[in-house]
Structure 1
Amino acid sequence: MDYIETWKEVIQRPSDFFRRMPTTGGYADPLTFAAISYIIYGLLSGLFSRGMMRGMYGYSGITEFGFSTAIMTAIMAPIVGIVSIFIGAAILYVIYKVLGGSGTYEGTVRFISYATAVMTVSWIPLIGWIFGIYEIYLYIVGGMVVHDVSMVKSAIAILLPTVLIILLVIIMVVLAGSIAYTMIFPS
């Protein structure tokens, strides 16, 4: 696997890449790609987003970030990232099946793994969130191709877990607020 060429294809021509991407063949190549993306993200995030802030902005908090933090982030990022790929793929696979998708769990793991290409640039302070939006687009396109569903169904599958989490948080906040209110103002 040529990481740089694969990265360019995923970023520049995602529809073509996901159409040509085999949906079977094992997990080794896509997970290796994802691990490299996460290592790059961990190193650069640890060095620049956190480690360099101290020097650039005179930050002198209790926690100091530096090269060792960057190394630890680079080690932990691929481990946590790969685990999250498998969990996320399981959730998305079920949602795609409910929506009539015909893809496989392996295909889902594969498109999510390649969508991590965005991680190599998402660490950039202030504009990293823009690349996060592009990653959502990569997920939608990858899911659409792998599961043979419309773009609308793929967008629903990708965005549904986030919407459900937001609703759950709102419900928890409302419940906590009502419990606190009844404790402060018993009737």
Structure 2
Amino acid sequence: MSLPPIDWTDATAEEALPQEKPLPPWEDPSLSILPALCSTLTGILRRPRSFFQTLPTTGGLGEPLGFALVVGTLGLLSSLIWQALLEGGLSESASGMLLTQTLRFLNTPKLIVGLFLLAPLLVAAGQFFLSICLTWAVRLTGPSETTFEAVFRVAAYAEAPMLACLIPLVGSLAAAVWGFWVLVIGLGQTFNLTVPKAIFALILSAVFQAMLLLFLLLLGGLFIFRGLSNFLFS
């Protein structure tokens, strides 16, 4: 019987080690911003399963947040611009009257300027708010050891379909539907969830978001009420 080679134990140990997942192009320090952005968007939008299969669940929040800020802010501002530009054309047709009246409040100049300035802050706050509630939901429907960092990274890169907001009229709706499906795929590939479980996790997350938002509104109303009471009756 022949003896194993001298480096047999070393080779076995190397094979037993888990292979590190490659960084997405956006986090690759060797790439400049524009090529990294285009390559990442291409990977998410064309091959979402492959992208999220190889997406590391660790590596920090800064790079994914930066990606979400770029794409999410561009999508949000595009929606506002199209609403402002198309309001006049819609109001000339009877079929667009209802939509025009619905968008009229959003098209006030002061509100639009304010949203332009606050868009990055709104995108960042939305990412953290979604990720907190989605972490709770994934822990209930999938692995209980799911980390906030892992969920945040998936949710941030799932912002890629916001580019569809560049398309007038139907862009916002397409971005919402497409983004929902990309997030379903991302949760499924990253946390080994079936499609029904991933969809249920998103529904559960929406419930958590509504409950948390209601709690914050009630808490804010309570502080305002106490402040007015102290001012009026002190």
* TM-score interval for Structure 1 and Structure 2 normalised by the shorter chain: 0.7 to 0.9
Deviations 1:54-111 (A, max 9, x none): 4434579688556x86664343222112112112111111111112325321110011
RMSD: 2.9
The counterpart of 2:183, out of the listed 131, 139, 151, is 139
Q: Of the two, which has the highest radius of gyration?
A: 2
- Flag structure 1 segments of 5+ consecutive residues without an equivalent: 166-187
- 2:121 aligned with 1:88, yes or no? no
2:80 maps to a residue whose letter is G
Give matches, 1:16-27, under 5 Å: 16-27=50-61
Task: Provide the identity percentage.
Answer: 21
Looking at structure 2, the residues matched to 64 and 143 of structure 1 have their Cα atoms a distance apart, in angstroms, of 35
8 Å Cα contact 2:78-2:165 kept in structure 1: no
Give matches, 1:16-165, under 5 Å: 16-49=50-83, 51-57=84-90, 72-101=114-143, 102-122=145-165, 124-162=168-206
Shift of 1:162: 3.8
- Flag structure 2 segments of 5+ consecutive residues without an equivalent: 1-25, 27-35, 92-99, 211-234
1:137 maps to a residue whose letter is W
- Mean Cα displacement is larger for which, 2-11 or 155-164? 155-164
* Closer/same/farther in 2, CA of residues 137 and 99 from structure 1, 3 Å limit: same
- Mean Cα displacement is larger for which, 142-151 or 123-132? 123-132
Paired positions, count: 165
2:178 maps to a residue whose letter is Y
Task: Report SS of the residue matched to 2:75.
Answer: helix
TM-score (norm 1): 0.74
* Closer/same/farther in 2, CA of residues 52 and 106 from structure 1, 3 Å limit: same
- Mean Cα displacement is larger for which, 103-112 or 40-49? 40-49
Looking at structure 1, the residues matched to 52 and 112 of structure 2 have their Cα atoms a distance apart, in angstroms, of 32
1:89 maps to a residue whose letter is S
Select the structure with the greater relative contact order (CA < 8 A; seq sep ≥ 6).
Answer: 1
Looking at structure 2, the residues matched to 134 and 63 of structure 1 have their Cα atoms a distance apart, in angstroms, of 24
- 2:42 aligned with 1:8, yes or no? yes
